[in-house]
Chain A
Amino acid sequence: MIQLLTDAWPTLWPILAAIAIILAVVPFLGLYMTFIERKIAAYVQDRVGPNRVGPFGLFQAVADGIKIFLKEQIIPDHVYTVLYFIAPTFSLMTAMFALVVMPFGPVATDYKEGFRFIVAPGIDIGILMMVAISSLSAYGIIVGGWASNNKYSVYGAIRSCAQFISYEIPLGLSLLGVIAITGSLNIEKIVAVQSASLLDWNVFWQPLALLVFFTSALAETNRLPFDLPECEQELVGGFHTEYSGIKFVLFFLAEYTHIVTVSFLTVLLFFGGWHFPGLPGPSGASLVVLLLGLLVLLIKVSLVVGLIMLLRWALPRFRFDQLMGLAWKGLIPLALANLVGVAVVLTLGLPKHLLLITAALPVAAAYYSAAKFNQTVSTESSLRAGLARKQAVSYE
């Protein structure tokens, strides 16, 4: 076995180093994202937020972490113990496993030996792999909800099932346009195609795909506009009602990891990844250029993370039928229309920036549904008025 390891060492160490970075950064990130989220929430609600522990309250996250680790382990009597413990672990495991094919820094497509900012470089099906892994993240919630042996938890789990299955379809469909024009599922290649100039960023010819992708990816993270599985007013805590202490934290670490993954994917697929006008690409670049690329990527990602956190306080929660309606009647048709547009452009050999007009589609759809909503409201109110008049007549 030792002989095996020493033989494989040259190919093994960059992988192990990348895994170590991910394992070290994710819990830290989870802690500090709760802190940032509280600060943003405070800003939105015109409060100060955590400011007592350390300068600007920066050590609040550390204090929270210590407190959570020292909490008593409460295991309710009525749970199925084994699955009850497996669920949060599996949740975090799938969330972290998705990071395997995700480049977290500039990766050149020539894949030289040595350290690269990715665990598994050059996987042909990179983006498909991410979708596959994220489809597994429902297991943690479902198993957790079922093992809690409590009807609110089961309802939370069932809701999350339906939500995951529905939103996976627009998520996959929205990526197809980007994949079709790039001609590869490999994330590094998708980024490399966006290298030439600012206008080559995918967002400038796939705005509709960006909208559909971002919405459905947000739904997969179980965050606020889509947090029906844990919806406090209806289901106590949803699938995590029976969880406390470190087990609860694992669920939430998984949620924050999902947010990071979604932000990275949005940046890599639509906003040019580590490319910025004037900055040379990563192949054969010096260390300074690589670090600059890393900086560019991280700044873009943190902007998207900030947007997701602001969205939490900007949008109210969906009703369940609205949630399903949005996926099946809104996002899937839009994603299909986008795909047809891409197919037409590719077959006729038109310039791809013609697809920018697809941005008009969601606007038209929103206008149409608003008009229809107003119409239903007005017919309903006129019907009600008519009914009231009739009743008034009959009472007379």
Chain B
Amino acid sequence: MNPFTIDPNRLPLVTGEQIPGTMSQLMLLVILLGAVSYLLLQHGVLKSKMIAAAGMGVFALAAALAVSLVPGQLDAVVRMCFSLLAVAGGLAFITAREPVHAALGFATAVLSTCGVLFMQSAYFIAAATMIVYAGATIIIFLFVLMFAQKSKLRTYDVELSHPIVATVVATALMFAIAWSVTSPGEILPIKLDLTRPYSLAVPGEAPGKQMPPMPSTATSAEEYAAFVPSKTSGLGRSMFTDYLLAIELAGTVLLVATIGAIVLAQRTERDAT
């Protein structure tokens, strides 16, 4: 079997299987601990070195736990390595003193997450994350940090104005994510809606069916569907049919942000002159 094809038996979350209760409680505990220690860090009760030491301890524990729990498959081992690396990167991001080191820790976390996504066969999301976050966002961070490297850090760079509000909001968000991961709703099987021209219907995707010969130029919807039996095309179809409104809204938000950036840039220029 091609090692890069997806095996539905190995994806417990997609088939609606529940994560065991102790696991989800452990997740919530970890989030709460993180929130509390972050607040203590902000108030100066804890030093970042102590957090780093505690984090390394937890990290070693998690690594040991992971090694004992990992099923005996090569891809599971690789995936676990990526997950641990992601956690380590996040830890470095929070505890690093030098802003550039923090940014590099963030980059490590993002890239390792991409690795996890690759191991889950979510290729498109992984590549998109790599391009958008690792390739563009963090590089711009580094760009700004390099300009600011010689100047001393200001108080507003180090201290938050509302640490409690920030921590509460972040914790709530993390709880929401953990909840939606641990109790996934029922995922409906993909329906083959043949009445809509560009929907999830992808003839030729069914196992055992032979791919039709490629036409030199595909013109109709049917030809396209037959032409591209890949998961990425399924994602694209889904995005531009089932989630069209969300996509258009996101595009509009980005457009507004771009216009805002241009307006801001021009205003400072006019003020300066």
**Inter-chain contact B230/A186, CB cutoff 8 Å:** yes
User: Contacts A8-B74, A132-B130, A158-B147; is A125 near B232 (CB within 8 Å)?
Assistant: yes
User: For chains A and B in complex, what number of residue pairs have CB atoms within 8 angstroms?
Assistant: 114
Known contacts A146-B100, A146-B146, A161-B142, then 15 further A-B pairs from the complex at CB < 8 Å, ordered by chain A residue: A4-B74, A12-B3, A15-B3, A120-B4, A125-B232, A131-B131, A132-B126, A132-B128, A135-B136, A136-B130, A142-B139, A146-B149, A165-B139, A184-B227, A193-B216
Nearest-Cβ distance from residue B167 to partner chain A, whole angstroms: 31
Residue numbers of B with Cβ under 8 A of A are 1-5, 72-74, 77, 100, 104, 107, 111, 123-124, 126-128, 130-131, 134-136, 139-140, 142-143, 146-147, 149, 214, 216-219, 224, 227-228, 230-233
Chain A residues lying within 8 Å of B214, measured Cβ to Cβ, are: 189, 192-193
CB–CB A183/B219 < 8 A? no
Q: Are A200 and B216 in contact (CB under 8 A)?
A: yes
Q: A158-B147, A200-B216 given as contacts; is B135 within 8 A of A185 (CB)?
A: no
B residues within 8 A CB of A145? 146
B124 partner, pick from A122, A124, A158, A161, beta carbons under 8 A: A124
Some 11 contacts from A to B, beta carbons below 8 A apart, are A3-B72, A4-B72, A15-B3, A111-B2, A121-B2, A122-B2, A122-B4, A132-B128, A135-B134, A168-B135, A346-B219
Closest A residue to B217 by CB, please name it.
A352
B72 touching A125, Cβ below 8 Å = no
Q: Given A135-B130, A183-B228, A192-B214, verify A162-B4 contact (CB < 8 Å).
A: no
Q: Determine whether A139 belongs to the interface, using a CB cutoff of 8 Å to chain B.
A: yes
Is A267 engaged at the interface, CB distance under 8 Å to the other chain? no
Rounded to whole Å, the gap between the CB of B239 and the closest CB of chain A is 14
**Which 7 pairs between the two chains have the least Cβ-Cβ distance?**
A135-B135, A132-B130, A349-B219, A124-B230, A132-B127, A183-B228, A128-B127
Within 8 Å of chain B (Cβ to Cβ): is A154? yes
Find out whether the CB atom of A123 lies under 8 angstroms from the CB atom of B4.
yes
Residues of A within 8 A of B107 (CB): 139
Q: What's the minimum C-beta distance from A233 to chain B, rounded to whole angstroms?
A: 22
Consensus secondary structure, chain A interface: helix
Residues of B within 8 A of A11 (CB): 1-3
Q: How far is the CA of A99 from the CA of B142 in the complex (A)?
A: 26
Which A residues are in CB contact (< 8 Å) with B130? 132-133, 135-136
Q: Does A196 contact B (CB under 8 A)?
A: yes
**B217: contacting residue among A12, A146, A161, A181, CB under 8 A:** A181
B230 touches A184 (CB 8 A): yes
Q: State whether B216 touches A121 (Cβ < 8 A).
A: no
Whether A184 contacts B228 by the Cβ 8 Å rule is: yes
Complexed CA–CA distance, A30 and B65 (Å) = 44
Which residues of chain B are near A351, meaning CB under 8 Å?
217
Closest to B98 in A: A80
Docked complex Cα distance between A279 and B111 (Å):
41
Query: B220's closest neighbor in chain A, by CB?
Result: A349
| Distance from B260 Cβ to chain A, minimum over Cβ atoms (Å) | 19
Check A271 for interface membership: any CB of B closer than 8 A.
no
* A161, B3: Cβ atoms closer than 8 Å: no
Q: Are A125 and B124 in contact (CB under 8 A)?
A: yes
- Closest B residue to A164 by beta carbon equals B139
Interface string of A34-61 (1 = CB under 8 A from B): 0000000000000000000000000000
Whether the pair A154, B149 counts as a contact (CB closer than 8 A) is yes
**Among residues 132 to 191 in chain A, which have CB atoms less than 8 Å away from a CB atom of chain B?**
132-133, 135-136, 138-139, 142-143, 145-146, 154, 157-158, 161-162, 164-165, 168, 181, 183-186, 189
How many angstroms between the C-alpha atoms of A135 and B138 in the bound complex? 11
Instruction: Tell me, yes or no, whether A129 is within 8 Å of chain B by CB.
Output: yes
- Given the known inter-chain contacts A3-B72, A185-B232, please indicate yes or no for A136 contacting B135, CB distance below 8 A: yes
**Minimal Cβ-Cβ distance residue in B for A186:** B230
Q: Across the interface, do B139 and A161 meet the contact criterion of CB distance under 8 Å?
A: yes
Chain B residue contacts of A122, Cβ below 8 A: 2, 4-5
Contact of A183 among B100, B142, B218 (CB under 8 A): B218
Assuming the contacts A11-B1, A146-B100, A185-B232, asked whether A162 and B143 have C-beta atoms less than 8 A apart, the reply is: yes
Q: Are B143 and A158 in contact (CB under 8 A)?
A: yes
B-contact 0/1 string along A109-124, CB 8 Å cutoff: 0010000000011111
Is the pair A196, B219 in contact by a Cβ cutoff of 8 Å?
Answer: no
- Contacts of A352 on B, CB cut-off 8 Å? 217
What chain B residues lie within 8 Å of A142 (beta carbons)?
Answer: 139, 142-143, 146
User: Are B143 and A161 in contact, CB atoms less than 8 angstroms apart?
Assistant: yes
Minimum C-beta distance from A97 to chain B (A): 11
Residues of B within 8 A of A192 (CB): 214
Min C-beta distance of B116 to chain A, whole Å: 15
Chain B proximity of A38: nearest CB distance (Å): 33
Measured in the bound complex, the distance between the Cα atoms of B149 and A168 in whole Å is: 26
Whether A183 lies near B232 (C-beta < 8 A) is no
Task: Select the residue from B77, B124, B143, B224 with max chain A CB neighbours within 10 A.
Answer: B143
Closest to B3 in A: A11
- Residue contact B140 to A165, C-beta cutoff 8 Å: yes
